[in-house]
Structure 1
Amino acid sequence: MPSSASDQISLDLYDQPGHLIRRAQQIATQLFRDVLGPDVTPVQYAILRMLQESPGIDQVTLAKLVALDNSTTADIAARLESKGWIHREILPRRQRRLSLTADGEAMLAAFVPNVHELHQRMLSALEPGEQAEFKRLLRKFVQLHDAGAAASDAAGSL
């Protein structure tokens, strides 16, 4: 039985969630660079902020918290250590405990006004209610997909 036009997925590229998410990521990354400069990437910033919130966590836990694979996290941590922003301490079983250095703390503190500006610039085109709804929907989207991935991982290990 042929499906009606209303049952079909739109082929308009700008109606496809994946494309819109990719474009939103490109826009967010460019705004990040415009406001915070080239010295730190959005992923590096996420790692530094997580270390600020959870000092001394191990690298594997950090990877999970910022949604990166272990090898990518290790590479980024090595780069951040070479910049003098973090310290990596080797633990038993080849684990590493990570913490911010004084330079890392100072860099993050200096970024605070810029992070507020970045937040404002990203959301300024939306009304206040839309801003809250946009962030709520983004959190929900990520949390639902993270929970689905965790459930899938758990089922696969049974």
Structure 2
Amino acid sequence: MRLPEQEATLTGSLNLDRYADHLIRRAEQVHTSLWSRFVSETVTSQQFAVLNVLRQSPGVDQSTVARLTSLDRSTAHHIVRRLTEQHYVSRTRDLSDRRRTLLALTAEGRKMHASLAPDAERINDELLAVFPGERRGEVLQILAQISQR
């Protein structure tokens, strides 16, 4: 059943301001703009997510990094390769399973994460600031539900 505000206009076009996909894309554009202005122009938010996972769980493999960051395996591979080339991430063979490569932050990677984390927190707070304080938890739950589909 369609909501009245989702019905096509008289011209047959849709009101994009009533469609979740359009609004989510716009919200992502706002986030990307804030990220590049206030956090980093060189380290993307996806790269930061990988750094953050490795800060939390040093010694995990690339598949685990992909799962914990909700990145597809190909994208995770590309990001890990780039972060390794930038000397933020180290790779070592798992001695118990030579097929696995374990990842960890280098000293440089820990420094980079520490320098980005406060600003990442700040833009998260800024994005949520448009909602009343008591609704922010609910907004995060709704976003989590959408992202788990």
**TM-score range normalised by the length of the shorter chain:** 0.7 to 0.9
Alpha-carbon distance, 1:124 to partner: 2.0
Aligned with residue 63 of structure 1, among 46, 63, 66: 66
Q: Which amino acid aligns with 2:102?
A: R
**Structure whose residues are more often strand by fraction:** 2
Deviations 1:20-58 (A, max 9, x none): 111111111111111112121010001110111111001
What residue number does 1:25 align with?
28
What residue number does 1:138 align with?
143
Structure 1's consecutive aligned runs of 4 or more residues displaced over 3 angstroms after TM superposition are: 3-10, 90-94
TM-score for both structures, normalised by structure 2: 0.83
What residue number does 1:151 align with?
none
The change in CA–CA distance for 1:105 and 1:18 in structure 2 (over 3 A counts) is same
TM-score for both structures, normalised by structure 1: 0.79
Give me the whole-angstrom Cα distance separating, in 2, the residues matched to 1:40 and 1:60. 21
Q: Secondary structure at the match of 1:125?
A: coil
Alpha-carbon distance, 1:93 to partner: 5.7
Q: What is the root-mean-square deviation in Å for CA atoms of aligned residues?
A: 2.3
- 1:98-137 to structure 2, matched below 5 A, reads 98-137=103-142
Alpha-carbon distance, 1:141 to partner: 2.1
What residue number does 2:93 align with?
90
**Structure whose residues are more often helix by fraction:** 1
Q: Which moved more, 1:114-123 or 1:101-110?
A: 114-123
Give me the whole-angstrom Cα distance separating, in 2, the residues matched to 1:116 and 1:4. 37
Note the residue ranges of structure 2 that are not aligned, 5 or more in a row: 9-13
Q: Which amino acid aligns with 2:71?
A: L
Q: Which moved more, 1:15-24 or 1:62-71?
A: 62-71
Note the residue ranges of structure 1 that are not aligned, 5 or more in a row: 146-158
The change in CA–CA distance for 1:129 and 1:79 in structure 2 (over 3 A counts) is same
What residue number does 2:44 align with?
41
Q: Which amino acid aligns with 2:64?
A: T
What count of residue pairs does the alignment treat as equivalent? Answer: 142
